[in-house]
Amino acid sequence: MIKAVRGTRDLLPPDTALWKFVDETARSVFRAYNFQEIRTPIFEDTQLFARGVGEETDIVSKEMYTWSEEANPEATLIGAWYTQSKPKYAASAWETRARGQHFEIDMRGESEAFLVELRSKFNPAVVERLRARKDRWPTSHPDSKPPLLIVALPRREADKIQWANLNDVVIEMLDIAEHEPGQRLTLRPENTAGVVRAYIEHSLQSRGLNKLYYIGPQFRRERPQKGRYRQFYQIGAEVIGPPSAGSESPARDAEILELLATFLGKLGITGWTLQLNSIGCAKDRTRYNEALRKALEPVKDKMDPDCQRRAVTNPLRVFDCKVPKDQPIIEKLPRISQFLDEPCRKHFEHVQEILKSVGVPFTLNDRLVRGLDYYTRTAFEFTHGALGAQNAILGGGRYDGLSEELGGPKAPGIGFAIGEDRLVLALNKSAEEMQPKPDVYIAPLGQSMDREAARLARELRQKDVIVELSDESFRLKKSLETASKLGARFALIVGENEIKADAFALKNLATGEQVSVPRTELIERIRTKP
- Judged by the rule CB under 6 A, the positions of this chain that interact with ligand AMP are 190, 220, 222, 227-229, 232, 234, 371, 392-395, 417, 419, 421-422
Query: Quick one: 272 or 288, whose CB is closer to ligand AMP?
Result: 272
Residue whose C-alpha is closest to residue 396's, from 381, 411, 386, 383: 381
Query: Quick one: 280 or 395, whose CB is closer to ligand AMP?
Result: 395
Residue 479 near residue 491, CB atoms below 8 Å: yes
Least spacing, CB of residue 214 vs ligand AMP, in Å: 12
* Distance (Å, whole) CA 481 – CA 477: 6
Least spacing, CB of residue 337 vs ligand AMP, in Å: 21
Query: Quick one: 56 or 421, whose CB is closer to ligand AMP?
Result: 421
Least spacing, CB of residue 63 vs ligand AMP, in Å: 8
Assign 456 to helix, strand or coil.
helix
Least spacing, CB of residue 102 vs ligand AMP, in Å: 47
Query: Quick one: 154 or 419, whose CB is closer to ligand AMP?
Result: 419
Least spacing, CB of residue 414 vs ligand AMP, in Å: 13
* Distance (Å, whole) CA 444 – CA 84: 72
Least spacing, CB of residue 222 vs ligand AMP, in Å: 5
Give the angle subtended at the CA of 434 by the CAs of 429 and 438, to the nearest 5°: 160
Q: CB nearest ligand AMP: which residue? A: 419
Least spacing, CB of residue 434 vs ligand AMP, in Å: 21
Give the angle subtended at the CA of 423 by the CAs of 273 and 464, to the nearest 5°: 135
Residue 481 near residue 507, CB atoms below 8 Å: no
Least spacing, CB of residue 67 vs ligand AMP, in Å: 20
Query: Quick one: 233 or 441, whose CB is closer to ligand AMP?
Result: 233
* Distance (Å, whole) CA 177 – CA 167: 29
37, containing H or E segment: strand 36-37
Query: Quick one: 220 or 347, whose CB is closer to ligand AMP?
Result: 220
* Distance (Å, whole) CA 434 – CA 424: 12
The DSSP 8-state label assigned to residue 222 in this structure reads -
Cα distances (angstroms) measured from residue 513 to each of 453, 456, 491? 21, 21, 11
Query: Quick one: 417 or 488, whose CB is closer to ligand AMP?
Result: 417
Query: Quick one: 126 or 240, whose CB is closer to ligand AMP?
Result: 240
User: HEC profile for 288-340?
Assistant: HHHHHHHHHCCCHHHCCHHHHHHHHHCHHHHHHCCCHHHHHHHHCCCCHHHCC
Query: Quick one: 418 or 526, whose CB is closer to ligand AMP?
Result: 418
Query: Quick one: 179 or 223, whose CB is closer to ligand AMP?
Result: 223
Least spacing, CB of residue 62 vs ligand AMP, in Å: 13
Least spacing, CB of residue 96 vs ligand AMP, in Å: 45
Amino acid occupying residue 282: A
Instruction: Look at the chain and count its residues.
Output: 530
Q: Within a 10 A sphere around the Cβ of 255, how many other Cβ atoms?
A: 18
Q: Residues 279, 285, 290, 296: what is their CA dihedral angle, to the nearest 10 degrees?
A: 20
Query: Quick one: 412 or 415, whose CB is closer to ligand AMP?
Result: 415
Query: Quick one: 12 or 113, whose CB is closer to ligand AMP?
Result: 12
Query: Quick one: 222 or 304, whose CB is closer to ligand AMP?
Result: 222
The DSSP 8-state label assigned to residue 225 in this structure reads B
* Distance (Å, whole) CA 167 – CA 120: 6
Least spacing, CB of residue 332 vs ligand AMP, in Å: 26
Q: Long-range contact list for 314-322, CB < 8 A, 24+ apart?
A: 314/54, 314/56, 314/373, 315/289, 316/279, 316/285, 316/288, 316/289, 316/292, 316/369, 316/373, 317/56, 317/57, 317/369, 317/371, 318/292, 319/367, 319/368, 319/369, 320/58, 320/369, 320/371
Least spacing, CB of residue 248 vs ligand AMP, in Å: 21
Query: In terms of DSSP bridges, do strands 210-219 and 36-37 run parallel, antiparallel, or are they unpaired?
Result: parallel
Least spacing, CB of residue 422 vs ligand AMP, in Å: 4
* Distance (Å, whole) CA 281 – CA 71: 42
